[in-house]
């Protein structure tokens, strides 16, 4: 009996044609945003420490002075009415402690459910960790609608994180671009997959051939060598755009679903009781989680919000950040968010930010992530060149 059904290779070719069509137009339509995200990501990486090639990273810094004394020193040099937002340990040994204040806005309150420090930004004070000598810095450029001046790093950050679009919609658009890039990586792999004995040539390209073949070979070879990093960075970018949604879909732990600290434990005043001071809150946190050092303290942004005390514990020579929420009214720890208690999938999700920015995984990964920022530019140039050359050749054949 004759077999009239399409053969399997023909069916695969049909799928490849559909994928190629979608791959092409997704790449063309979103070429400029893809390029902007890639290049700004690499630029932002240059503003952070390049990890060492050999040896251990430096020991994590810590706040060793009482936070109350640090706050008192800072309050002597800031305007009246500002409220403390966050006290942060030095970035490196010898650097100052930094305390950020919220701007004085007596007629307004931060939005309910917003993260700590959601209000307008105020002055920033640098404090010597030994002498508590203070230096007042201006609020960061672009920190509010009335802020002036030009700040390149802030521009790069806003372009990379939200494409300069105000509100949460910008971050969501960037998240969708991460999803589209994941599709481009998968569809590109399907189209690249060699036939027969063409495997060796599929990983390389040579100049001197026709422009169409050179660009096609370069597009495929660069794509396959950079695929793993490209997919990791793209997925992590999508995750950072939709952390709650993806974490919920993957049934992650509550602390993973709320890495931005939006869903905070609620606290309330107790009649006749004096609230705990910031130093008492730190003591409660370190008593609950011993053998840790103080990394930062985030002050309550709302009347029903707790203190957030961020601690550092060294596990296997790597610093681990632990968030402890302290009910200063009841003088007890309300919640501990410790990565050590997470499952494998939770640790995978919580690692996405570090993977995305090339932090915490050594100089090789840092360099690969940095170079991956140029991949959208390479793909766009070679892809659009291929498309244009094919159109030109087709028109010539039709005219012949």
pTM of the model: 0.74
Which of 200, 236, 248, 210 has the alpha carbon at shortest distance from 361? 236
**In this predicted structure, what is the pLDDT of residue 173?**
96
pLDDT tens-digit series, residues 105-115: 654 444 433 44
- Does the CA dihedral 219-221-222-224 come out positive or negative? positive
Residue 339: DSSP 8-state: G
What is the residue extent of each domain of the chain? 8-51+162-249+366-399, 67-131+254-341
Which of 85, 140, 87 has the alpha carbon at shortest distance from 117? 85
Q: Mean pLDDT in the chain?
A: 85
User: What is the C-alpha to C-alpha distance for residues 178 and 341, in angstroms, rounded to an integer?
Assistant: 29
Asked whether 373 and 35 are in contact (CB, 8 A), the reply is no
Helices (H), ranges, 205-315? 211-225, 227-241, 243-249, 254-257, 278-288
User: What is the C-alpha to C-alpha distance for residues 117 and 165, in angstroms, rounded to an integer?
Assistant: 20
User: What is the C-alpha to C-alpha distance for residues 52 and 59, in angstroms, rounded to an integer?
Assistant: 13
User: What is the C-alpha to C-alpha distance for residues 38 and 375, in angstroms, rounded to an integer?
Assistant: 7
Provide the strand spans (E) within the chain: 83-88, 97-102, 121-127, 134-137, 293-298, 307-315, 318-327, 332-337
Taking only the tens of pLDDT, the chain with its 400 residues reads 444 544 444 444 578 889 999 999 999 999 999 999 999 999 999 877 666 655 455 678 899 999 999 999 999 999 888 999 999 999 888 899 999 999 876 544 444 334 444 456 789 999 999 999 999 885 554 444 444 456 788 889 899 999 999 878 999 999 999 999 999 999 999 999 988 778 888 898 888 778 999 999 999 999 999 999 999 999 999 999 998 889 888 888 777 776 666 677 899 999 988 999 999 999 999 999 999 999 999 999 889 999 999 999 988 777 888 999 999 999 999 999 988 888 888 889 988 988 999 987 888 999 999 999 999 999 999 999 999 999 998 888 888 7
**In this predicted structure, what is the pLDDT of residue 197?**
78
pLDDT tens-digit series, residues 211-247: 999 999 999 999 999 999 999 999 999 999 998 889 8
**In this predicted structure, what is the pLDDT of residue 236?**
96
**In this predicted structure, what is the pLDDT of residue 316?**
74
Which of 343, 393, 368 has the alpha carbon at shortest distance from 41? 368
Residue 140: DSSP 8-state: P
**In this predicted structure, what is the pLDDT of residue 138?**
59
**In this predicted structure, what is the pLDDT of residue 105?**
66
Which of 342, 178, 329 has the alpha carbon at shortest distance from 255? 342
User: What is the C-alpha to C-alpha distance for residues 294 and 368, in angstroms, rounded to an integer?
Assistant: 32
Angle at 19 between CA 16 and CA 25, to 5 degrees: 140
**In this predicted structure, what is the pLDDT of residue 328?**
96
**In this predicted structure, what is the pLDDT of residue 374?**
97
**In this predicted structure, what is the pLDDT of residue 295?**
95
What lies within 8 Å, CB to CB, of 293 at 6+ separation is 60, 62, 63, 311, 312, 313
């Amino acid at each position: 009996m004759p077999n009239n059904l399409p053969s399997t290779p023909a069916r695969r070719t049909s799928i490849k044609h559909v994928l190629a069509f979608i791959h092409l137009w997704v790449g063309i339509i979103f070429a400029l945003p893809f390029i902007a995200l890639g290049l700004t990501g690499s630029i932002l990486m240059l503003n952070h420490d390049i990890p060492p090639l050999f040896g251990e990273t430096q020991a994590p810094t810590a706040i060793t002075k009482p936070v109350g004394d640090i706050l008192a020193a800072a309050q002597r040099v800031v305007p009246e009415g500002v409220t403390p937002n966050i006290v942060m340990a030095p970035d490196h040994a010898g650097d100052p402690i930094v305390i950020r204040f919220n701007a004085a806005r007596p007629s307004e309150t931060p939005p309910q459910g917003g993260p700590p420090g959601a209000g307008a930004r105020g002055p920033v004070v640098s404090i010597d960790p030994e002498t508590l000598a203070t230096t007042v810095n201006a609020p960061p450029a672009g920190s509010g609608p009335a802020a002036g001046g030009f700040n390149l790093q802030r521009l790069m950050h806003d372009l990379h994180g939200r494409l300069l679009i105000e509100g949460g919609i910008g971050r969501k658009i960037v998240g969708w671009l991460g999803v589209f890039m994941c599709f481009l990586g998968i569809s590109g792999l399907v189209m690249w997959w060699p036939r027969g004995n063409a495997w060796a040539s599929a990983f390389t390209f040579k100049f001197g051939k026709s422009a169409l073949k050179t660009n096609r070979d370069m597009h495929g070879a660069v794509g396959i060598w950079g695929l793993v990093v490209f997919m990791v960075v793209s997925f992590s970018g999508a995750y950072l755009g939709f952390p709650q949604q993806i974490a919920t879909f993957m049934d992650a732990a509550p602390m993973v679903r709320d890495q931005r600290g939006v869903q905070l434990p609620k606290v309330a005043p107790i009649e006749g009781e004096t609230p705990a001071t910031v130093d008492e809150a730190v003591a409660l946190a370190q008593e609950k989680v011993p053998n840790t050092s103080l990394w930062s303290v985030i002050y309550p942004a709302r009347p029903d919000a707790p203190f957030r005390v961020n601690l550092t514990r060294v596990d296997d020579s790597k610093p681990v950040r632990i968030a402890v929420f302290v009910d200063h009214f009841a003088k007890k720890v309300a919640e501990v968010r410790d990565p050590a208690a997470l499952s494998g999938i939770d640790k995978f999700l919580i690692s996405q930010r570090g993977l995305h920015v090339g932090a915490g995984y050594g100089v090789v990964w840092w360099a690969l992530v940095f170079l991956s920022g140029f991949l959208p530019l390479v793909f766009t140039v070679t892809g659009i060149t291929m498309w244009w050359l094919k159109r030109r050749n087709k028109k010539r054949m039709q005219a012949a």
